[in-house]
Chain A
Amino acid sequence: GAGVSQSPSNKVTEKGKDVELRCDPISGHTALYWYRQSLGQGLEFLIYFQGNSAPDKSGLPSDRFSAERTGGSVSTLTIQRTQQEDSAVYLCASSPQLRTEAFFGQGTRLTVV
């Protein structure tokens, strides 16, 4: 079956522009995570959605970052006024329920020039 799909695969943007990253989770998965990974580093938690509950936004690094999940399915991560330090791979994952195995997409590599 289809896995977690992220688009675009790569994105190069100019400093100061807004970007929108998309994640299509596995159908039926109620939990959805966004992580950020800088080159050679671990995964930095950004935000978590679970069903219809309010998302946990505690990992968002600044108010330039926001995310939404429409209809409990597709999620978009928006970064406004991008900065060079936003350059990283943004990974999305979904899981069927709390605390179970997470299925990752291939990520979006964002480069801010």
Chain B
Amino acid sequence: NAGVMQNPRHLVRRRGQEARLRCSPMKGHSHVYWYRQLPEEGLKFMVYLQKENIIDESGMPKERFSAEFPKEGPSILRIQQVVRGDSAAYFCASSPGVDTGELFFGEGSRLTVL
């Protein structure tokens, strides 16, 4: 049973380009979360999605960032017009439901903005 799969593992972009990060949750999991980890800092919640719905996006920056979890295919975190401050590790996690509180994390996508 494959775990949470994230790709790409490493992504380099120049300022102003777009970054797309993909996340395939564990089989049977319909809840997806995105977190951002800045260098030497903790994890900051960004967004919580279920299939075709954004449930909580209170941690998403108001501009340039968007997320989706379509009926078919992986969840996508999209960052438009990247800036150097977007350089971070972006972690996706999935769970079968909200009640357990247990999240299963992917290995992360490390974005570097030049």
A complexed with B? no
By a beta-carbon cutoff of 8 Å, the part of chain B in contact with chain A is none
By a beta-carbon cutoff of 8 Å, the part of chain A in contact with chain B is none
